[in-house]
Amino acid sequence: MGGTRIAGLGHHAPARVVANAEIEARLGLDEGWIARRTGIRERRWAAPGEAVSDLAVPAAAMALAQAGIAPDAVGLVLLATSTPDHLLPPTAPIVAHRLGLSCGAVDLTGACAGFLYAFVLAEGFVRTTGRAALVIAANILSRRIDPDDRMTAALFADAAGALVLAPDPRPEAGLLASALASDGAGYDLIQIPAGGSRRAMTADTPAREGRMVMRDGRAVFAAAVDIMVSSCRQVLWDAGIAAKEITCFAPHQANGRMIAAVAGRLAIGPERTLSTLAEFGNTSAATIPFSLSQAKAARRLGQGDLLLLAAAGAGLAGGAAIYRL
């Protein structure tokens, strides 16, 4: 039995650039406040009328073009998103249709860890069926933040990333280990209070209830770092690989301090850590494939490289994976 390969990568961000100064002025913050606390300098926000599918399609098209495979070779499309075009139906089928694909297609809601879960599931699909899988992560979080809340307004942004997983004859290529984790005790640390079956939006529901709330930033930070570090250590142990052997660490781009904390505890230096945070902010599930695609374009990834992926987010859900290119 062979392995798998990342046959193509793609990314897409909206045209509108929102610099820190715009947000700092609106919230009455000192110049440089956001960059000092988050590492973010600017981010992209979608235009009015632009939906998640409008970001997902160009990112996926880029990945498919790079992969150079026929449409009928793709057997599955997984779209990791927390901001679908509609609550019903799922967005993945229309994305697949716009790409000329007629395979299975479904959304996966995993917040910031959504791509990692989709990636692990898709890798198993490819090994089982021998068909390629298209994994996309896309979010428009600018419409879910509270513009008056510095905790969310400064962090979140809009973008999409995608990759194509395909069969590979090399048995050593592909997923070497994965560890997926959750801690429901932190379920309400990050949430959108209204809009689900627990609490519907009504005419009397304040608009703020339909926006993202981060109840305790310090608790979120500590829990996310713990999940990512423990999951990374687990996959390194399971794969029999030392941290010094990792070619490239691709963590979820939550904020600069979190990336530094996780990498530091794993003894992985900044020269091996991918980051697109400064220019694109926190795009939730999209950050890992977006960063991988940019790294590929910059020729920072090559065959045989060992990738360490890690994520954590609302739920709390997270995990890590080691993949050999």
The reply to whether 136 and 212 lie within a common domain is: no
The reply to whether 276 and 202 lie within a common domain is: yes
- Check which CATH number belongs to the domain holding 299 and give it: 3.40.47.10
Q: Cα angle at 254 between 247 and 277, to 5 degrees?
A: 70
What pLDDT sits at residue 79? 98
Which of 136, 168, 200 is a domain's end point? 168
Which of 168, 192, 226 is a domain's end point? 168
Cβ–Cβ under 8 Å, residues 123 and 97: no
The reply to whether 207 and 257 lie within a common domain is: yes
What pLDDT sits at residue 180? 97
What pLDDT sits at residue 177? 98
The reply to whether 153 and 9 lie within a common domain is: yes
Q: How many residues does the chain have?
A: 325
pTM beyond 0.85:
yes
The reply to whether 230 and 158 lie within a common domain is: no
What pLDDT sits at residue 1? 66
The reply to whether 51 and 180 lie within a common domain is: no
The reply to whether 189 and 313 lie within a common domain is: yes
Distance CA 148, CA 151 (A): 9
pLDDT per residue, tens digit, the chain (325 aa), is 689 999 999 999 999 999 999 999 999 999 999 999 999 999 999 999 999 999 999 999 999 999 999 999 999 999 999 999 998 999 999 999 999 999 999 999 999 999 999 999 999 999 999 999 999 999 999 999 888 888 888 999 999 999 999 999 999 999 999 999 999 988 888 887 778 888 887 877 777 777 788 888 888 999 999 999 999 999 999 999 999 999 999 999 999 999 999 999 999 999 999 999 999 999 999 999 999 999 998 888 999 999 999 999 998 999 999 999 9
The reply to whether 7 and 100 lie within a common domain is: yes
The reply to whether 38 and 158 lie within a common domain is: yes
The reply to whether 120 and 143 lie within a common domain is: yes
Place of tokens 């697109």: 276
The reply to whether 197 and 128 lie within a common domain is: no
Helices 114-129 and 287-297 pack at an angle, to 10 degrees, of 70
Count of domains for the chain: 2
What pLDDT sits at residue 129? 96
Domain that holds residue 242: 174-324
Could you tell me which of 122, 168, 176 has the C-alpha nearest to residue 321?
176
Which of 146, 168, 190 is a domain's end point? 168
Catalytic residue numbers? 112, 252, 282
The reply to whether 243 and 160 lie within a common domain is: no
